[in-house]
Amino acid sequence: MSKKKFVQQTFENIDIVDISSEGLGVTKINEWVVFVEGAVPGDVCNINVYKKKRKFGFAKITDLVKPSEHRVKPECQHFGTCGGCKWQNFAYSAQLQYKQNQVVNAFKRLAKVEVGHTFDILGCEEIYYYRNKLDFGFSNKKWLTAEELKLVNESISQLDNDAANQQIDISSNRQINNGCGFHVSGAFDKVLDIQHCHLQEDPSNQIRNEVRRFALEKGYDFFNIRDKAGLMRTMIIRTSTTGEVMCVFSFYDNDTEKINTLLGHVKQSFPQITALLYVINQKGNDTIYDLPVQCFHGNDFIYEEMEGLKFKIGPKSFYQTNSKQAYQLYKITRNFAGLKGNEIVYDLYTGTGTIALFVSKNAKHVVGVESVPEAIEDAKENAKLNEISNTSFYAGDMKDVLNDEFITANGKPDVIITDPPRVGMHPSVVAKMLEIAAPKIVYVSCNPASQARDVALLAEKYIVTKVQAVDMFPQTLHVESVALLELK
């Protein structure tokens, strides 16, 4: 028996009542949940349901009947095509309220625990140009917008029937096909050509646009991920509050002459670049963590500063991508820990040791654990750089490192600070924390749902006394949450 073909449905005057954790507008049609792309709570719109499941569906707006009071004009020309800032049409004050609700609901509905006090979310002073790191990709299969497709089709339609070779010229035109920007969701081999991004301050846009212009002028091949061919692959731009700039280029072809020509032009055009680096990457993925990095000009690092501390950041280093708001996040973490100067502190998932070093002056000793060996080397180097002697750093899988022998060697912690990845902590790590029974746990999370799951397990011995949401990424659906757990 053949499967019944889905027929798209249109609904009129639909009220958007909420927004999902993925940033989609939410409506209900006879108790059937529909997620609407680009919709804002409070919108009244006509929608077309293009995908239907038993309990939910997905739709697009066909006509905005009445815009929400929270709807604003997006700043970015790429909004709607680029998926990086899905909430640019959503007023920032409303963004903060929904992020606050996301954190509150995670503890109330998922963790099912009482919270002693919930602080209002801490928003960003700068809601644009707040990132210190962006990764751009090059592709010879540029994602064509509706406007670009129209221009191409118009050009092709104007060709003479006896000039088929002209059509070949159009289809192979570098200006049309080559792009530098962000990978498009659902199309891994294409990038959206970005003219101006509102996430990172200049010279980020200036560098990207000049590199693309120069590469096109010189006829350099942009990467084709399917064929594994081309020179220009990726570019990372890092900036810091100290004014330093790092650029890391990834090339697929090891063409020394072209690489030196490009990097020489970048060096001359942007004297503010203090670290100009490159790698040759002929792997199947874009990661550079297992590749040697070559220094073309300047240093192989930049510095970031926070409250008198200096952090050395290399091309492979992890550092919070919103420097100014990271400072606020760490201050809240330190405040929740309530250190008096005589405590042993464990900083789990320490990364490059930023939090560990930040709280070290208020503790007797801080022990950091991280699975990435290179990050631990960065942490040790930053400790030396800042002449901090009351820290120890260990590399290894958390569930293996955090054992009885480790605790005996380093001392039982008075405070545990944990800042795990989005998936949260391994169940055995949570079990070990319950066994350790430190008087305080400060749980920093970039995913309220996984934080709530872990907190529910820790509730066996702990109560949640304080929670503070922190917005690190305006115009996006992401939110950080800091929770203080105290032993019952």
Q: Identify whether the C-beta of residue 415 lies closer than 8 Å to the C-beta of residue 348.
A: no
pLDDT per position in the chain (488 positions), as tens? 455 667 788 999 999 999 887 788 999 998 889 999 999 999 999 999 999 888 899 999 999 999 999 999 999 999 988 878 989 999 999 999 999 999 999 999 999 999 999 999 999 999 999 999 999 999 998 887 766 666 666 655 655 444 444 444 444 566 678 999 998 877 778 899 999 999 999 999 999 999 999 999 999 999 998 999 999 999 999 999 999 999 999 999 999 999 999 999 999 999 999 999 999 999 999 999 899 999 999 999 999 999 999 999 999 988 999 999 999 999 999 999 999 999 999 999 999 999 999 999 999 999 999 998 989 999 999 999 999 999 999 999 999 999 999 999 999 999 999 999 999 999 999 999 999 999 999 999 999 999 999 999 999 999 999 999 999 999 999 999 999 999 99
**Residue 240, pLDDT score:** 95
Query: 411 in the Ramachandran plot: left (φ > 0), alpha (ψ -120 to 50) or beta?
Result: left
d(CA 430, CA 286): 33
Residue range of the domain that includes 237? 133-142+178-306
Q: Identify whether the C-beta of residue 184 lies closer than 8 Å to the C-beta of residue 225.
A: no
Structure tokens at 111: 């963790």
Asked whether residue 341 falls in the same domain as residue 461, the answer is yes
**Residue 188, pLDDT score:** 75
**CA–CA–CA angle 337, 359, 374 (5° rounding):** 120
Q: Domain for residue 84, yes or no?
A: no
Please tell me the total count of domains within the chain: 3
d(CA 471, CA 100): 9
Q: Which of 372, 241, 237, 243 is nearest to 309 (CA)?
A: 241
Q: Domain for residue 216, yes or no?
A: yes
d(CA 436, CA 344): 13
Structure tokens at 436: 């350790």
Cis-peptide, bond into residue 203, ω within 30° of zero: yes
Q: Which of 84, 172, 188, 206 is nearest to 476 (CA)?
A: 84
Asked whether residue 365 falls in the same domain as residue 416, the answer is yes
Asked whether residue 472 falls in the same domain as residue 333, the answer is yes
Residue 464's alpha-carbon distances to 116, 132, 336, 419, 456, in angstroms, are 6, 33, 11, 16, 10
Asked whether residue 331 falls in the same domain as residue 474, the answer is yes
Residue 183, beta-bridge partner list: 191
Q: Which of 21, 36, 32 is nearest to 56 (CA)?
A: 32
Asked whether residue 284 falls in the same domain as residue 398, the answer is no
In this structure, what CATH number is given to the domain that contains residue 364?
3.40.50.150
Asked whether residue 376 falls in the same domain as residue 422, the answer is yes
Q: Identify whether the C-beta of residue 462 lies closer than 8 Å to the C-beta of residue 435.
A: no
Q: Identify whether the C-beta of residue 441 lies closer than 8 Å to the C-beta of residue 433.
A: yes
> Three-state DSSP class for 370?
strand
Asked whether residue 138 falls in the same domain as residue 123, the answer is no
Q: Domain for residue 87, yes or no?
A: no
Structure tokens at 128: 């644009």
**Residue 168, pLDDT score:** 40
Q: Domain for residue 291, yes or no?
A: yes
Q: Which of 448, 173, 440, 223 is nearest to 333 (CA)?
A: 440
Asked whether residue 300 falls in the same domain as residue 330, the answer is no
CA dihedral for 285, 291, 295, 300, sign (positive or negative) = positive
d(CA 52, CA 128): 36
91 — phi, psi (to 5°)? -50, 140
**Residue 170, pLDDT score:** 45
274 — phi, psi (to 5°)? -100, -15
Q: Considering only the C-alpha atoms of the chain, give the largest distance between any 2 of them, rounded to a whole number of Å.
A: 86
Asked whether residue 341 falls in the same domain as residue 471, the answer is yes
Structure tokens at 3: 């499967």
Question: Distance from CA of residue 97 to its chain's centroid?
Answer: 21
Q: Domain for residue 466, yes or no?
A: yes
Strands (E), 240-308: 245-251, 273-280, 294-298, 302-306
Asked whether residue 366 falls in the same domain as residue 267, the answer is no
d(CA 248, CA 469): 33
Q: Quick check: is 76 catalytic?
A: no
Q: Domain for residue 163, yes or no?
A: no
Structure tokens at 207: 């560098």
Q: Identify whether the C-beta of residue 276 lies closer than 8 Å to the C-beta of residue 339.
A: no
**Residue 143, pLDDT score:** 85
Q: Identify whether the C-beta of residue 70 lies closer than 8 Å to the C-beta of residue 90.
A: yes
Structure tokens at 433: 């924390």
Question: pTM value?
Answer: 0.90
137 — phi, psi (to 5°)? -115, 150
- What crossing angle do the helices spanning 164-171 and 146-157 adopt, rounded to 10°? 160
Residue type, 379: A
Asked whether residue 232 falls in the same domain as residue 247, the answer is yes
In this structure, what CATH number is given to the domain that contains residue 59?
2.40.50.140
d(CA 264, CA 324): 32
Please spell the DSSP secondary structure of 195-254, one letter per residue.
S--SSS-TTHHHHHHHHHHHHHHHTPPBPBTTTTB-SEEEEEEEE-TTS-EEEEEEESS-
**Residue 167, pLDDT score:** 43
Q: Domain for residue 463, yes or no?
A: yes
d(CA 172, CA 157): 16
Asked whether residue 326 falls in the same domain as residue 473, the answer is yes
Q: Please identify, among 306, 338, 368, the residue that sits at the C-terminal boundary of a domain.
A: 306
In this structure, what CATH number is given to the domain that contains residue 256?
2.40.50.1070
Residue 297, beta-bridge partner list: 276
Q: Domain for residue 287, yes or no?
A: yes
